[in-house]
């Protein structure tokens, strides 16, 4: 079996929409996927709007047979954007992409299949791990009205 080492990378994205329940939908830069997180993971007290740019740490996703007892307590805005190894579960697998629910109701991640390291065939329900962090504001991008929602 081939061993992979996943490493956190500073990434960026743009807020696409904010739902009434506080879920923030973020399009990753470069059309690399979509992340949905609760508002509490974004470090800043200003009113969020579509077009706000965010920075955060993220890594490739690795499928694991025996998941660790992951600790999400470091995913805390008081600690900044420190990468933390988290667990999740694949909820959608298709020909081009996967979606994983992040542990402890921290949101979901949808990325191309090429972002997943695994020696086995991908299936819904598989456990996975990846690095992730809180997010910080990094400016604003003006979005055309038709691209919002």
Give me the CATH number covering residue 56.
2.40.50
Q: Which residues constitute the domain of residue 99?
A: 9-143
- Residue 143, pLDDT score: 60
Total domains in the fold of the chain: 1
**Which whole number is the average pLDDT over 121-135?**
96
* Helix/strand/coil (H/E/C) assignment for every residue in 40-106: HHEECCCCCCCCEEEEEEECCEEECCCCCCCCHHHCCHHHCCCCEEEEEEEEEECCCEEEEEEHHHC
Has residue 1 been placed in a domain? no
CA neighbor of 7 nearest in space, from 56, 54, 58? 58
pTM for this prediction = 0.89
Has residue 104 been placed in a domain? yes
- Residue 144, pLDDT score: 59
Has residue 149 been placed in a domain? no
Q: Is 5 exposed, middle or buried (0-12, 13-18, 19+ CB in 10 A)?
A: exposed
Has residue 98 been placed in a domain? yes
Has residue 48 been placed in a domain? yes
Has residue 3 been placed in a domain? no
Has residue 43 been placed in a domain? yes
Tens of pLDDT, residue by residue over 37-62, are 999 999 988 889 999 999 999 999 99
**Which whole number is the average pLDDT over 1-12?**
80
- Residue 19, pLDDT score: 93
- Higher pLDDT, residue 142 or 47: 47
Q: Using the 8-state DSSP alphabet, how is residue 9 labeled?
A: E
**Which whole number is the average pLDDT over 97-126?**
95
Has residue 78 been placed in a domain? yes
């Amino acid at each position: 079996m081939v061993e992979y080492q996943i490493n956190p990378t500073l990434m960026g994205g743009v807020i696409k929409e904010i739902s009434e329940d506080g879920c923030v939908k973020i399009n990753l830069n470069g059309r690399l996927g979509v992340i949905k997180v609760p508002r509490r993971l974004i470090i800043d007290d200003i009113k969020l709007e579509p077009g706000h740019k965010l920075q955060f740490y993220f890594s490739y996703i690795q499928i694991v047979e025996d998941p660790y007892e992951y600790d999400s307590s470091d995913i805390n805005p008081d600690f900044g954007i420190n990468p933390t190894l988290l667990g999740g579960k694949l909820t959608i697998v298709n020909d081009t992409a996967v979606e994983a629910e992040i542990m402890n109701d921290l949101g979901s991640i949808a990325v191309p299949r090429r972002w997943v390291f695994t020696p086995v065939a991908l299936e819904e329900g598989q456990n996975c791990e990846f690095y992730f962090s809180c997010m910080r504001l990094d400016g604003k991008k003006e979005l055309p009205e038709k691209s919002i929602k």
